Amino acid sequence: MYTKKIYVSGGSFHELQAVYEELPGIVDVRAGYINPVNDNVSYETVCDGTIKAVMGICLEYNPKKIDVSSLLDILFSVADPYSKAQQGPLIGPMYACGIFYSSMEDIPQIQLHLNFMANRGTPPAVDGSTLTVNDPVGDQKQRRQLHVQTEPLACFVEAEEVHQDFLKKNPNTDTYIDIKKFKECIRI
């Protein structure tokens, strides 16, 4: 089977792994450290700032069943691309939202997706009776500032085994993302 890989970040890699792991078309999800400045990276060295790296996941997927755009839709449904180095209560550069590609053919899809996100403008107030439609914003002052790292993957170091499938091993862990509700919404 032909598979591809893309690397994403946005908050806790434990939660991101749980979000993606059962989706149709996903072959494997591994938690790890994206683009560390040193191969001797660990959870502790990233959390205390000794080694600069982003906590994220490696998504191995079947492109015949799920595409990059769908993977990014899922990422941005659980991670805030408009927050700089913060996802809910998690604060710091290691929790930054990011897309790290290993294939140049993914760049046009990523750029198109991010351009769409940036041009959404200030979100209007929405109540239960209205429909919000994307209205591209030509005025640069009204464009929303995206804080999504988008760069080629330089290195991915898998996290320690204790961090792989962490929420399966520790189901009572409090999470920022309501994973159960998320999976109910997408009917997994």
C-alpha–C-alpha distance, residues 176 and 87, integer Å: 8
C-alpha–C-alpha distance, residues 139 and 77, integer Å: 25
Question: Between these two residues, 78 and 139, which has the higher pLDDT value?
Answer: 78
- Indicate the CATH number for domain 4-123+130-185: 3.30.1060.10
Angle at 11 between CA 8 and CA 12, to 5 degrees: 95
Quick: pLDDT tens for 89-148.
899 999 999 999 999 999 999 999 888 888 765 554 445 544 444 445 455 555 678 899
pTM: 0.84
Quick one: tokens of 177?
Answer: 């993302």
What percentage of the chain reaches a pLDDT higher than 90?
Answer: 59
Angle at 98 between CA 16 and CA 88, to 5 degrees: 55
Q: For residue 10, which of 60, 63, 59 has the smallest C-alpha distance?
A: 59
C-alpha–C-alpha distance, residues 36 and 66, integer Å: 28
